[in-house]
Amino acid sequence: MTSRIQERNTVSPYLTFVIVHAMLFGIDFLLLTIKPVQMAGQDAWTAVLLCSAGIHIVIVMMYSFLNRHQTDLIHIHILLFGKWMGWMLNILFAGYFLLVTVYQLRLFIEVIQVWVFPEMKTWSLALVLLLIAFYIVSCGFRVIVGICMFSLLNTILFLTIFFMIPYFHFNNLLPAMSHSPHDIFGATKELTASYMGIEIIPFCYPFIKTPRKSQKWAHWGVLSMTFIYVVEVIFAVITFRPEQLSNELWPGLTKYKFIQFPFVERFEFIGSSVTVLRLFPIICLCIWVASRIMKFTFSIRQIRVLPVLLGVVFVATCFIPNRIGVDVVQSWIKLSGISVIFGYFPSLFLFDILRAKVKKTK
């Protein structure tokens, strides 16, 4: 049942770090800070830490059942739930990843439409982005991870917050811990959406050379992103008033409005164009997983199913007309992401343990 992946298609374990990092550093990073800061104000950073702790636990659970079965989630589903049930779950996951793709793609196009080219047509940019995505995905997993690595260059832009030092008001962090646990938990829930992306790990698992060793790197990936999130949240708190922040749509891009170089006076069009580097790893990995699921479910070649999936994504993207549409999809994604990460994986973990126990007693 388990399929062996040829060694030349696998990647080193440390690249799990890169995958996790790239998946978490998505387009919605740009609007990460609004809701948590609205809810928990200056204490939002504690929410980030809380959320990160939860994610670490989920990763431990995930690796527990992955290590036991030594294969990816597609096969585990069929192994645990039988053919039909597993089939259903796999299709659900494929749908979920396609939805994530659509969301990220549309969000990026919106960034471009708002910040760079207001008259850009949704379909034209979507078409070009998906064609490039097709090129990347058709080169295989190694190349996709390479693109993830390339996108890490984006992290350099994170340093631009040092341009903002003159506008920092450290007083804003005080008084610390003045929000109720209820507020902080609310902010934590909002932040879960930013940690979405780790659900890709169970599908990449067999493509990692020594998969057991990759768990450490997955944790490191989440840790480094936690650090970035915390800095970003603290930055937002000390630069903006919460009232100001609630008027913003893209605080991650607004911060580029403060940067000036001798030659370049506006940085936001650079900053918003660069986000394309964040987009590609996510959509490529998601489409790759979705097409892989299709490959095993319908036993067709991945390269055949790829254009079909891209077509579906293209049509779905074009049907989201505006800001409101994006918001609706965003709420779906949030709901499904939270239920997958904090609902489905832990219950799968428990089910797996129970099943192993029952087998042992038998």
Residue 131 sits in the site that holds another protein (CB under 8 A): yes
208 phi and psi angles, rounded to 5 deg: -105, 135
Whether the CB-CB separation of 96 and 329 falls below 8 Å is answered with no
11 binds another protein (CB under 8 A): yes
Residue 3, by phi and psi: left (phi above 0), alpha (psi -120 to 50) or beta? beta
If we measure between CA atoms, which residue out of 186, 194, 256, 189 comes closest to residue 225? 194
From 182, 212, 213, 241, residue interacting with another protein (rule: CB under 8 A): 241
Task: Work out whether 224 is an interface residue with another protein (CB under 8 A).
Answer: no
The 3-state DSSP class for residue 208 equals strand
Alpha-carbon span 165 to 268, nearest angstrom = 18
Q: Which of 53, 60, 128, 356 binds another protein (CB under 8 A)?
A: 128
- What residue ranges in 53-164 does DSSP mark as E strands? none
| Contact predicate 261/117, CB 8 Å | no
150 touches another protein (CB under 8 A): yes
Q: Does 60 bind another protein (CB under 8 A)?
A: no
Residue 130 CB, nearest approach to another protein (Å): 11
236 binds another protein (CB under 8 A): no
Does the protein bind another protein through residue 12 (CB under 8 A)? yes
Query: Of 55 and 237, which CB lies nearer to another protein in the complex structure?
Result: 237
* Residues 6+ away with beta carbon under 8 Å from 360: none
Site string for another protein, 281-320 (x = CB under 8 A): ----------------------------------------
Number of residues that bind another protein (CB under 8 A): 61
266 makes contact with another protein (CB under 8 A): yes
Under a CB-based contact definition with an 8 Å cutoff, are residues 197 and 18 in contact?
no
Q: Pick one of 16, 104, 188, 254: the residue that binds another protein (CB under 8 A).
A: 254
CA distance 113 to 121: 8
**Joined tokens for residue 314:** 């293209």
**340 contributes a contact to another protein by CB under 8 A:** no
Is 265 a residue that touches another protein (CB under 8 A)? yes
Nearer to another protein, 44 or 348 (CB): 44
- Three-class SS state of 11: strand
Q: How many other CB atoms are found less than 10 A from the CB of residue 213? A: 13
| Cβ 191 vs Cβ 337: under 8 Å | no
Does 264 bind another protein (CB under 8 A)? Our answer is yes
d(CA 185, CA 209): 38
139 counts as binding another protein under rule CB under 8 A: yes
Of residues 156 through 175, those in contact with another protein by CB under 8 A are 167, 169, 171-175
Rounded Cα distance between 2 and 69, Å, is: 9
When binding is defined by CB under 8 A, the residue of 3, 64, 67, 124 that contacts another protein is 124
Closest separation between CB of residue 259 and another protein, Å? 9
Report which of 345, 285, 219 is spatially closest to residue 22, judged by C-alpha positions.
285
* Three-point CA angle 355, 358, 359, nearest 5°: 85
Site membership for another protein, residue 216 (CB under 8 A): no
- 231 binds another protein, rule: CB under 8 A: no
Q: Which of 92, 230, 270, 338 is the binder for another protein (CB under 8 A)?
A: 270
* CA–CA separation, 163 and 224 (whole Å): 22
Q: Of 7-15, 28-36, 52-60, 82-90, which segment contacts another protein by CB under 8 A?
A: 7-15
* Residue placing its CB nearer to another protein in the complex, 81 or 168: 168
Residues lying near another protein in the complex (CB under 8 A): 11-12, 14-15, 112, 114-117, 119-121, 124-125, 127-129, 131-132, 135-136, 139-140, 142-143, 146-147, 149-150, 167, 169, 171-175, 178, 240-241, 243-244, 247, 254, 257-258, 260-270, 273-274, 276-277, 280
